[in-house]
């Protein structure tokens, strides 16, 4: 458990860094908000401002075809003063969002669900970092800071995902379902986290109450609650915008990828090259690919649901249509919770070096392509491939480590033996 002064110091330092960056470099937020690595068409703050402008003038925010984010963000941000003139309130808001996310991350770390679950106890459970260290890793991660300074709305999505995980690992079902609904409402794909987190929630409740709740009833109740919560959010959005049009402009864009602005993901280049007749087919294949990890991982790693959810955030950071460094930041901050797996991982240096190299080569190649005009799209795409490779290596390697950790418990006699593929 972390001491209170440490926590306070960490939060104060993180808030100070953010507010200092906001005030010392007034042009930094808009510079970062324009970077394709940080802001995607579905999370960009500039587009949010465009939507706000239309909304405050009683025009449908989706009319311009620029705004693709959830309608409920609009009343929230219209409460804040206009960031073009007085950005302070918005800056404080985003700083708070990051601090709350860190708080949720600390709850996840403190719950100990990473090492000890109902059905599984890792043999390396003593090996863990304090929750303050993990929260510091999140708060001072340059990717998180960049997301916060760029005021990308993925910071909000990350907050709700982390809160959902935290609440699930505490067994607080109502808040879990509510934050799950918010995360899914904002970004759609987090809904895939529901099954593993529901298992986590079930496990925690079982341990707490010393008796398992009725499995089927538990699933049915919570799924129904999620549907009700989501339905309520969507209906509220409909009331707000006056029609169901927002569905196409928000989830439709995420599903069908009409905006091919470059990002750090793998979809945009592929779909710029695609003949139109194949587009629907490959959209289906790509989405199926993303979604297919959830059932497989949930079943195979049934005993470690928190690890499944973490790995899924990594999968989202690689394979969703509009990923940004914010998604990578979320995954990379969750990985240290599984400190006990690190001794089993084999490619940490390789993976972290490739992430490091690409975070510098990416902007350099983007500069060559867009500003210097001496490169082309392939330069940037090559780097996004390496970036995704680096993340995939971490995902794959940590999966290997988790399975190996399970094996060490199941077959203690194999401990320390080299694995062989058969």
Partner 1 sequence: MALISTLLALRKDARLLKIPPYLSALCIIVGVVWLLVLPLQEYSRNTYVSENALLPGQVHTYFTGSEHNIFRAYRHEVASLGDRTTQERNQRLGDILRSSNLKVATQKYSYATSGRNISDENVYAILQGPRADATEAIVLIAAWRNMDNEINHSGVALVLTLARYFKRWSLWSKDIIILISGDSTSGPQAWVDAYHNSHNPETIESLSIKSGALQGAIAIDYPAGPWGHRYDKLHIVYDGVNGQLANLDLFNTAVSVASGQMGIGCTLQRMWKHDDSYKERLQTMLRGMISQGVGHASGPHSSFIPYHVDAITLQTVGDGWHDEMSLGRTVESLFRSLNNLLEHLHQSFFFYLLLHANRFVSIGTYLPSAMLIAVNFSITSIALWVASGRAGKIPNPASTVPPATPGEKSTSSITTKTPMTVAKKDGMIALIPTALLQTNERALFLPLAFVLATHFLGLLPLYIFNNTHSSYLDLTFTIVALLSTLLPHLTAFSLKRFSRPTEQETILIQCFSLLLLGMFLAALATLNFSLSVLIGIATSPLTFIRSTKNKPVSGALSLLLAVLNPMVIIRGATFYFGQDIMSVLVKAAEGWHVWGLWTQVVVWLVWWPAWFAGSVVVSGGLFA
CB atoms under 10 Å from CB of 403, counted, come to 16
Is there binding between residue 403 and partner 1 (CB under 8 A)? no
Query: Does 232 interact with partner 1 (rule: CB under 8 A)?
Result: no
Q: Which of 364, 389, 403, 407 binds partner 1 (CB under 8 A)?
A: 364
> Is 27 near partner 1 (CB under 8 A)?
no
How long a stretch of residues is the chain? 422
Residues 175-194 that bind partner 1 (CB under 8 A): none
For residue 21, the Cα-to-chain-centroid distance in whole angstroms is: 23
Among 343, 411, 414, 415, binds partner 1 (CB under 8 A): 343
Asked if 349 interacts with partner 1 (CB under 8 A), we say yes
Burial of 384 (0-12, 13-18, 19+ CB in 10 A): buried
- Residue in 67, 143, 365, 387 binding partner 1, rule: CB under 8 A: 365
Nearest alpha-carbon partner for 242 in 74, 3, 82: 74
> b vs e for 269-298, b when ≥16 Cβ sit within 10 Å of the residue's Cβ?
bebeeeeeeeeeeebeebbeebeebbeebb
Should residue 373 be labelled a site residue for partner 1 when binding is judged by CB under 8 A? yes
The contacts of residue 405 (CB under 8 Å, 6+ apart) are 122, 123, 124, 340, 341, 344
Residue 261: CB atoms within 10 Å: 12
Yes or no: say if 402 and 122 are a contact pair by the CB < 8 Å rule.
no
Which listed residue (219, 357, 392, 396) binds partner 1 by CB under 8 A?
357
Q: Does 214 bind partner 1 (CB under 8 A)?
A: no
Q: Which stretch binds partner 1 (CB under 8 A): 8-16, 237-245, 306-314, 365-373?
A: 365-373
Q: What is the enclosing helix (H) or strand (E) of 223?
A: helix 215-241
Is residue 420 at the binding interface for partner 1, with CB under 8 A as the rule? yes
Instruction: Quote the CA–CA distance of 255 and 372 in Å, as a whole number.
Output: 33
Told to check if 360 binds partner 1 by CB under 8 A, we report yes
Q: Which of residues 378-397 bind partner 1 (CB under 8 A)?
A: 379
Partners of 116 in the β-ladder:
121
Strand, coil or helix: what is 211? coil
Cβ distance to partner 1 smaller for residue 256 or 368 = 368
DSSP class of residue 320? Answer: S
> Minimal distance in Å, beta carbon 365 to partner 1?
7
C-beta of 48 vs 345, nearer to partner 1? 345
Closer CB to partner 1, residue 256 or residue 364? 364
Shortest distance, position 356 Cβ to partner 1, whole Å? 6
| Binding footprint of partner 1 on the chain (CB under 8 A) | 343, 349, 353, 356-357, 360-361, 364-365, 367-368, 371-375, 379, 418, 420-421
């Amino acid at each position: 458990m972390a001491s209170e002064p440490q926590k306070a110091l960490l939060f104060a330092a993180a808030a100070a860094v953010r507010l200092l960056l906001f005030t010392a470099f007034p042009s930094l937020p808009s510079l970062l908000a324009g970077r394709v690595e940080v802001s995607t068409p579905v999370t960009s703050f500039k587009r949010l401002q465009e939507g706000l402008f239309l909304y405050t003038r009683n025009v449908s925010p989706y009319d311009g075809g620029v705004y693709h984010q959830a309608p409920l963000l609009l009343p929230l941000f219209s409460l804040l003063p206009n960031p073009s003139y007085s950005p302070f309130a918005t800056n404080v808001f985003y700083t708070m969002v990051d601090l709350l996310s860190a708080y949720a991350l600390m709850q996840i770390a403190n719950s100990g669900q990473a090492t000890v679950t109902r059905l599984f106890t890792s043999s390396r459970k003593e090996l863990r970092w304090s929750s303050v260290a993990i929260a510091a890793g999140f708060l001072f991660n340059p990717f998180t800071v960049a997301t916060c300074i760029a005021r990308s709305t993925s910071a909000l999505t990350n907050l709700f995902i982390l809160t959902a995980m935290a609440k699930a690992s505490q067994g607080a079902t109502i808040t879990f379902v509510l934050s799950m609904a918010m995360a899914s409402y904002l970004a759609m794909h987090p809904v895939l986290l529901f099954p593993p987190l529901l298992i986590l929630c079930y496990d925690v409740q079982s341990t707490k109450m010393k008796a398992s709740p009725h499995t089927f009833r538990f699933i049915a109740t919570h799924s129904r609650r999620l549907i009700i919560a989501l339905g309520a959010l969507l209906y509220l959005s409909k009331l707000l915008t006056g029609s169901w049009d927002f569905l196409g402009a928000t989830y439709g864009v995420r599903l069908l990828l009409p905006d091919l602005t470059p990002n750090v993901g793998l979809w945009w280049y592929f779909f710029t090259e695609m003949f139109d007749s194949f587009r629907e087919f490959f959209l289906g294949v790509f989405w199926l690919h993303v979604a297919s990890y959830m059932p497989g991982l949930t079943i195979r790693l049934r005993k470690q649901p928190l690890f499944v959810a973490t790995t899924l955030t990594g999968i989202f950071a690689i394979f969703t249509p509009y990923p940004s460094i914010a998604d990578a930041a979320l995954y990379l901050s969750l990985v240290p919770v599984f400190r006990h797996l690190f001794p089993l991982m084999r490619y940490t240096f390789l993976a972290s070096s490739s992430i490091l190299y690409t975070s510098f080569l990416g902007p350099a190649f983007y500069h060559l392509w867009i500003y210097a005009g001496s490169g082309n799209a392939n330069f940037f795409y090559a780097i996004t491939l390496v970036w995704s490779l680096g993340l995939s290596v971490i995902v794959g390697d940590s999966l290997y480590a988790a399975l190996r950790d399970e094996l060490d418990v199941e077959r203690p006699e194999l401990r320390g033996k080299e694995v062989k593929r058969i």
